[in-house]
Amino acid sequence: MRRLVGPLVVVGALVVVADMVAESLAEAELEARLEQEVPQATSVSASITSFPFLGRLLTSGRVAEVDARARGLEVRGLKLDVVDVDLDGVTLDRRILVDDKRVAVTDIDHGRVRAEVTQEALSDRLGVDLRLEAGRASVTVAGRRITAALEVRDGQLVLSGVGLSLPALDVVAPLLPCIANAEIVPGRVLMTCDFTEVPEELRSAQFFDL
């Protein structure tokens, strides 16, 4: 038995290392696709959470979680500070996995996107002096500070108030398929949305050769 322990430990370590390497390669390939699909972002990153990665991939065709992030994404003149996408229960194409030795995202159990935009970016886009405090927004007009309401209408970000005439901002963008809620925090707006469809920028992602 003692003679078997050493080789078994070595084999186990090699399996774990191979699993980690495969996961890292998958993440690198996903990042490469994001760079191609979202060129307007200043940086992108991706991570995959699933252990064992290869074991679950080959037996069930699923991984636990895929996360993607884009920074500095500009949408029709409005720069989003960061866009975070979290995909849970990710299903992969088993036919492509078996026949082509490649991995493609086909379905998810649930997805959530969270985007942040700063008051400076909003001020530049709207051409006004906007101030964002916890739960409050205000705009300076003719030297007078006016309280503004912020809400989401039909997927657009809308700032309104007495004496204000500001355009609605369409913020749907790559990796940001929908906007359902907007929250004002000091210096920025947090926008979130839940979805069940794979974002187009991730749907056809081919991660790596098995």
Asked whether 197 and 177 are in contact (CB, 8 A), the reply is: yes
Closest by CA to 17, choosing from 53, 44, 43, is: 53
- CA neighbor of 32 nearest in space, from 210, 206, 175: 206
Q: What integer pLDDT is reported at residue 165 of this predicted model?
A: 83
Task: Name the residue type at position 169.
Answer: L
Residue 108's pLDDT is 94
Q: What is the pLDDT of residue 208?
A: 47
Q: Are 82 and 116 in contact (CB under 8 A)?
A: yes
Alpha helices in 82-138 (DSSP H): 94-95, 119-126
Q: Supply the pLDDT for residue 98.
A: 59
pTM: 0.83
- What local confidence, expressed as pLDDT, does residue 19 receive? 65
Please enumerate in sequence order all residues whose Cβ is within 8 A of that of 96, keeping only pairs 6 or more positions apart, or say none.
102, 103, 104, 206
Whole-number Å distance between alpha carbons of 170 and 181: 14
- Mean pLDDT for back-to-back runs of 10 residues, the chain (210 residues): 48 52 74 86 89 74 89 92 95 70 79 96 93 92 87 90 85 90 96 92 60
CB 22 within 8 A of CB 15: no
Looking at the DSSP assignment, which residues form a beta bridge with residue 138? 131, 147
CA dihedral 29, 33, 38, 39 (to 10 degrees): 90
75: left (phi over 0), alpha (psi -120 to 50) or beta: beta
pLDDT value, residue 10: 45
The pLDDT of residue 62 is 84
- What are 45's strand-pairing partners? 69
